Structure formats: structure tokens, C-alpha cells
Amino acid sequence: GDSVTQMEGPVTLSEEAFLTINCTYTATGYPSLFWYVQYPGEGLQLLLKATKADDKGSNKGFEATYRKETTSFHLEKGSVQVSDSAVYFCALSPSGDSWGKLQFGAGTQVVVTP
């Protein structure tokens, strides 16, 4: 079945450091890919998305490129801030009628220190 694997955390960084969170997936067909962010005590917020191969999603300085050849969707940010401390989830939405069944990775906690 479909699955998402992302790097374990916590990832601890200093402010202004470069952030990368690796995400790989297994799926049939052509899924859509997403990154969500969750702050303490809150639901999930959509950070960025990509719906086909080679698409680059970007938002708030974060970027991720849909790489079908390596089945990856790594999240990057060039200069993190303390406010980026949160848990980040990589997710896929299968193609076809199963698109409503999001499959999530385990989540990666990111801690940014001043």
C-alpha cells in the first residue's frame, strides 16, 4: 500500500541555519504530495503542495520539489527562525477515488534555538 517515510526528529537548529527534512514515498500512480505543519495544541496547517512530477511547492520560505525518479519530496528552508519550531508532516494523496485518504509520515519535530 501507499506509505510515507520521513526522517526522525527532533531536529535542533540555531536561528538562521539551513533546514532539510527528508521525505520519501511509495505509491502507485501519480499521488499529490504535501507538507503540513503542526504547532503545539493546534491542528495541521497546509504548508505547501505539489501535484505532479517536477512541481516545486513553496510558501513562507519553505520549498519542496516533487521528484518522481527518487520518489522524494524533501522540505528545505534557507534560514530558519524560532517561530518555525513545530512538527512537520509529509503526506500523500493517492490518485483516483482514494484521493481523500491522506497518508502521513510520522512527523519530524523541529526545534530552533535563538
Partner 1 sequence: KAGVTQTPRYLIKTRGQQVTLSCSPISGHRSVSWYQQTPGQGLQFLFEYFSETQRNKGNFPGRFSGRQFSNSRSEMNVSTLELGDSALYLCASSLSSEWGYTFGSGTRLTVV
Of 29, 40, 70, 100, which one interacts with partner 1 (CB under 8 A)? 100
Does 36 contact partner 1 by CB under 8 A?
yes
Q: Are 23 and 75 in contact (CB under 8 A)?
A: yes
Cα–Cα distance, 70 to 18 (Å, whole number): 22
Contacts of 64 (CB under 8 A, 6+ apart): 23, 33, 35, 48, 50, 56, 57, 58, 73, 74, 75, 76
Of 19, 27, 64, 102, which one interacts with partner 1 (CB under 8 A)? 102
Of 19, 27, 49, 73, which one interacts with partner 1 (CB under 8 A)? 49
Of 21, 88, 107, 112, which one interacts with partner 1 (CB under 8 A)? 107
As measured in angstroms, the least distance from the Cβ of 102 to partner 1 is: 6
Cβ count within 10 A of residue 49: 19
Site residues (vs partner 1, CB under 8 A): 32, 34, 36, 42-46, 49, 51, 89, 93, 95, 97-107
